[in-house]
């Protein structure tokens, strides 16, 4: 068995991170660096009639003020601005024209010798506007929301049976409308970009992004640059969660200024300005469940409205999770999009599932109450061994085992069914549970391995490590497949000049890159074997490639361990000091089967009824996600997801003043995320789930951790209090209403 895969290996980049040696996008310095400060629109919709740059330009140390009227050439076609993950529509173009599409839209960039000067002078830029009426309230746009096209990657799946009829005929019906507000990603690291003009005139751009090659292609498109003229780097990232899948405006502004002034420029957004990037779309959903008295589902209808901008149609497959998760012969899905005067919404950790499964799992809890069944018992009665949306089996599905192990670790069997029946001193105690589901995806990706005669290997790929542990799992896989100690592996990533990678998202990178490392290591082995065969009296003279593996710095015959040739000897024989191979690995998923990860989440809350305060005192998350490469970074992924689920259930909400169309809590003081005091006992369990969909049996872990957590907590709040709050977050005012 492989020595590193599956172990709790500490982050290989951990020391660099805690000592500050790891530098982030806004930490790269160069002589003569200038600083840009963004001026954001104070209106929500309309046009700029005049920009007075005079006062800002007169400030000592200010170099220039860029606006749509005063800037270098940019592309004119939508195509040029359409990045690799852009939705349909006409992408936003920073400082392009006089139109205002959302509050906080960048309208000018003040460039100065210091960041303080730039920021101060930015307050002196005078912008006159012509206002138009705006709409930012999804509830007011309900009537005009338009259906999204069904099918495809993101449209609702095909409905089955006759859900309305089955619902009408069902013995027990449960209907409800659930709401999840707009939420923002709030990564610790601010969005920033340092565009360095090199001596030869080329640009090196350190940008905060989940996809360096996506940003690279985008910059080439909008500035008409040749690929060789610019290199985009993002070796470290302080949290992305989806907000860095698409290029953000800071990188456009930094490059625009660097090109205008032929000097290196850094642009860093402020925390409030981060709220002018994307967000998790608000979602109004109506779910109806019909069941027979025995507790099996007869019908599901799921109607969703999500929000997007006026210029792009961002949506995900929101509704189909409902009919995928539980056995149900009749299912109908509908999804409409409300266009608001906001920036385009975007992916945020487990996009669509985090919100849709919240509603489904809260509705299932309500159905369990109506049926007088234990919530876990109901899930087991409705358990589905097939993906009914596409009528296929799962490559693996150990959800039953998640329920079993999670319930045992939590002590679920001791739950008293009646709401308000469990107490701890003066507090009400509630126990709730929910199911989580996500996809196990793969994407084409390339890896280069350079193996030196001294037994050191450099493994490179343009992927990011958004904090998930990509460096570490890449090193673990490479060490195992090359048969080398972990310390002999160095990983290079986050550089657009490295072998091709998609954006890091969708929980697809670890699986994809691990496959590519294995595939490329095979090519390294094959080349080494060719060399080893030429060694005089080679014990591997007749060995076929698949009869040989790399172990302890040697090529070893699988049939006869004494038949080995040292890598160094093989290379010496061929007059080489290294072997270099690059391969692209394509997805290996068999589309005749469904590929999903699952989780069972059990939560305990304690509610002080006098004050309305809710505390999440215990969470157990049991996860089935195929082979877990690293139990330490893997657990961290799930812990982070659970913490965010606590935020989603109880704290997080982007609040708009609809009269102004502005976000009023664009800061850490008023946009509440869980703090240490909100996070208590969280236990992560990985259940065994053998899967043969790819070489290592992996599924990916980045997103499954959040799905279902908010529902488990909401259900626990109901169990504690007898009060069902369907609108997230469950704040004390709603509980006491």
Angle between helical axes of 353-371 and 631-650 (0-180°, round to 10): 70
Interaction pattern, residues 182-211, with ligand MOS; x per rule: CB under 6 A: ----------------------------x-
CB 24 within 8 A of CB 189: yes
Q: Which pair of tokens denotes residue 679?
A: 């996070």
Residue number with CB closer to ligand MOS (34 or 707): 707
> Interaction with ligand MOS in 490-529: which residues (CB under 6 A)?
505-506
> Interaction with ligand MOS in 208-267: which residues (CB under 6 A)?
210, 240-242, 245
Residue number with CB closer to ligand MOS (241 or 279): 241
- Out of 101, 246, 259, 349, name the contact with ligand MOS by CB under 6 A: 349
Q: Which pair of tokens denotes residue 344?
A: 């385009």
Catalytic residue (choose from 312, 652, 689, 703): 703
Residue number with CB closer to ligand MOS (323 or 351): 351
Q: Which of 131, 129, 130, 125 is nearest to 52 (CA)?
A: 125
* Closest approach of ligand MOS to the CB of residue 241, in Å: 6
* Closest approach of ligand MOS to the CB of residue 180, in Å: 15
Residue number with CB closer to ligand MOS (127 or 232): 232
Give the position of tokens 């191979």. Answer: 581
Q: Which pair of tokens denotes residue 112?
A: 């100065």
- Out of 211, 235, 351, 469, name the contact with ligand MOS by CB under 6 A: 351
**Burial class (CB within 10 angstroms; exposed 0-12, middle 13-18, buried 19+) of 20:** exposed
Question: What is the three-class DSSP state of 436?
Answer: strand
Residue 657's φ and ψ, nearest 5 degrees, are -90, 105
Q: Which pair of tokens denotes residue 61?
A: 């140390």
CB 334 within 8 A of CB 319: yes
- Out of 189, 250, 318, 347, name the contact with ligand MOS by CB under 6 A: 347
Interaction pattern, residues 595-634, with ligand MOS; x per rule: CB under 6 A: ----------------------------------------
Q: Which pair of tokens denotes residue 467?
A: 């904090």
Residue number with CB closer to ligand MOS (243 or 519): 243
461/459 Cα distance (integer angstroms): 7
Q: Which stretch binds ligand MOS (CB under 6 A): 346-354, 390-398, 470-478, 687-695?
A: 346-354
155/140 Cα distance (integer angstroms): 23
CA distances from 693 to 523, 593, 595, 624 (A): 21, 9, 8, 15
Answer yes or no whether residue 700 interacts with ligand MOS by CB under 6 A: no
CB 606 within 8 A of CB 429: yes
Residue number with CB closer to ligand MOS (661 or 702): 702
Other beta carbons within 10 Å of 735: 18
Other beta carbons within 10 Å of 93: 20
Q: What share of the chain is helix, strand, coil (3-state, %, to 5)?
A: 30, 30, 45
Q: Which pair of tokens denotes residue 175?
A: 């209907």
Q: Which stretch binds ligand MOS (CB under 6 A): 144-152, 211-219, 341-349, 535-543?
A: 341-349
CB 453 within 8 A of CB 578: yes
Residue number with CB closer to ligand MOS (505 or 553): 505
Active site residue 703: yes
Q: Which pair of tokens denotes residue 595?
A: 């590929």
Residue number with CB closer to ligand MOS (163 or 348): 348
Contacts of 200 (CB under 8 A, 6+ apart): none
The total number of residues shown for the chain amounts to: 737
Contacts of 89 (CB under 8 A, 6+ apart): 78, 309, 311, 312, 313, 344
Residue number with CB closer to ligand MOS (169 or 673): 673
83/143 Cα distance (integer angstroms): 31
* Closest approach of ligand MOS to the CB of residue 458, in Å: 27
Residue number with CB closer to ligand MOS (182 or 258): 182
Q: Which pair of tokens denotes residue 213?
A: 């090659």
- Out of 121, 237, 348, 707, name the contact with ligand MOS by CB under 6 A: 348
Count of residues interacting with ligand MOS (CB under 6 A):
11
Question: What is the three-class DSSP state of 441?
Answer: coil
Pairing mode of beta strands 62-66, 146-147? unpaired
533/619 Cα distance (integer angstroms): 57
**Active-site residue list:** 703
Which residues are near ligand MOS by CB under 6 A? 210, 240-242, 245, 347-349, 351, 505-506
């Amino acid at each position: 068995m492989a020595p590193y895969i599956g172990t709790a290996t500490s982050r290989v980049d951990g020391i660099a991170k805690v000592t500050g040696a790891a530098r982030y996008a806004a930490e790269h310095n160069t002589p003569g660096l200038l600083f840009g400060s963004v001026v954001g629109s104070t209106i929500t919709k309309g046009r700029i009639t005049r920009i007075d740059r005079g006062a800002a330009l007169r400030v000592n140390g200010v170099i220039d003020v860029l606006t749509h009227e005063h800037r270098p050439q940019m592309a004119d076609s939508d195509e040029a601005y359409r990045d690799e993950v852009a939705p349909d529509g006409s992408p936003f173009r920073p400082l392009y024209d006089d139109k205002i599409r959302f509050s906080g839209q960048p309208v000018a960039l003040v460039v100065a010798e210091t960041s303080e000067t730039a920021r101060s002078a930015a307050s002196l830029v005078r912008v006159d506007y012509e206002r138009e009426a705006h709409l930012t309230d999804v509830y007011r746009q309900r009537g005009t929301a338009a259906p999204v096209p069904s099918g495809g990657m993101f449209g609702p799946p095909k409905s089955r049976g006759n859900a309305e009829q089955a619902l009408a005929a069902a013995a027990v019906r449960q209907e409800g409308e659930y709401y999840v507000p707009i939420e923002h990603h709030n990564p610790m690291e601010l969005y920033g970009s340092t565009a360095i003009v090199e001596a030869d005139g080329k640009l090196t751009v350190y940008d905060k992004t989940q996809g360096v090659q996506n940003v690279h292609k985008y910059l080439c498109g909008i500035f008409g640059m040749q690929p060789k003229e610019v290199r985009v780097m993002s070796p470290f990232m302080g949290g992305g969660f989806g907000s860095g899948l698409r290029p953000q405006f800071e990188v456009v502004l930094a490059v625009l200024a660097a090109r205008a002034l032929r000097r290196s420029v850094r642009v860093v957004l402020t925390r409030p300005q981060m709220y002018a990037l994307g967000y998790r779309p608000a979602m109004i959903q109506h779910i109806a469940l019909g069941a027979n008295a025995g507790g099996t589902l007869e019908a599901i209808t799921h109607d969703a409205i999500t929000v997007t901008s006026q210029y792009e149609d961002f949506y995900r497959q929101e509704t189909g999770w409902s009919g995928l998760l539980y056995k149900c012969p009749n299912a109908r899905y509908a999804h409409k999009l409300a266009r608001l005067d906001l920036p385009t919404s975007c992916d945020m950790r487990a996009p669509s599932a985090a919100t849709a499964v919240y509603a489904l799992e809260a509705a299932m809890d309500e159905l369990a109450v109506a049926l007088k069944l234990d919530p876990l018992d109901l899930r087991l009665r409705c358990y589905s061994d097939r993906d009914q949306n596409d009528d296929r089996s799962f490559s693996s599905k150990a959800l039953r085992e998640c329920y079993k192990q999670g319930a045992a670790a939590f002590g679920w069997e001791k739950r008293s069914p009646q709401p308000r029946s469990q107490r701890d001193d003066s507090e009400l105690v509630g126990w709730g549970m929910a199911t989580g589901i996500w996809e196990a995806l793969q994407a084409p990706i390339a890896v280069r391995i350079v193996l030196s005669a001294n037994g050191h290997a450099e493994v490179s790929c343009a992927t990011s490590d958004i904090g998930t542990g990509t460096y570490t799992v890449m090193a673990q896989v490479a060490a195992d497949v090359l048969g080398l100690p972990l310390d002999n592996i160095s990983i290079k990533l986050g550089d657009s000049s490295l072998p091709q990678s998609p954006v890091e998202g969708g929980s697809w990178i670890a699986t994809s890159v691990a496959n590519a490392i294995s595939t490329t290591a095979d090519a390294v082995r094959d080349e080494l074997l060719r060399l080893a065969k030429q060694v005089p009296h080679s014990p591997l003279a007749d060995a076929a490639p698949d009869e040989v593996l790399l172990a302890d710095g040697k090529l070893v015959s699988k049939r006869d361990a004494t038949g080995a040739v040292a890598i160094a000897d093989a290379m010496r024989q061929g007059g080489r000091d290294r072997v270099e191979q690059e391969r692209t690995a394509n997805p290996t998923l068999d589309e005749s089967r469904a590929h999903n990860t699952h989780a069972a989440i059990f939560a305990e809350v304690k509610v002080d009824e006098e004050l309305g305060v809710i505390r999440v005192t215990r969470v157990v998350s049991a996860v089935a996600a195929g082979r877990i490469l690293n139990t330490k970074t893997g657990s961290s992924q799930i812990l982070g997801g659970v913490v965010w689920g606590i935020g989603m259930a109880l704290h997080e909400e982007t609040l708009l003043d609809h009269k102004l169309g502005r976000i009023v809590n664009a800061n850490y003081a008023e946009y509440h995320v869980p703090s240490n005091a909100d996070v208590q006992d969280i236990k992560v369990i990985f259940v065994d789930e053998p899967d043969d969909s790819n070489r290592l049996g992996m599924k990916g872990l980045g997103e499954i951790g959040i799905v279902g957590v908010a529902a488990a907590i909401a259900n626990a709040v109901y169990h504690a209090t007898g009060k069902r709050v369907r609108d997230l977050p469950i704040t004390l005012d709603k509980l006491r209403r």
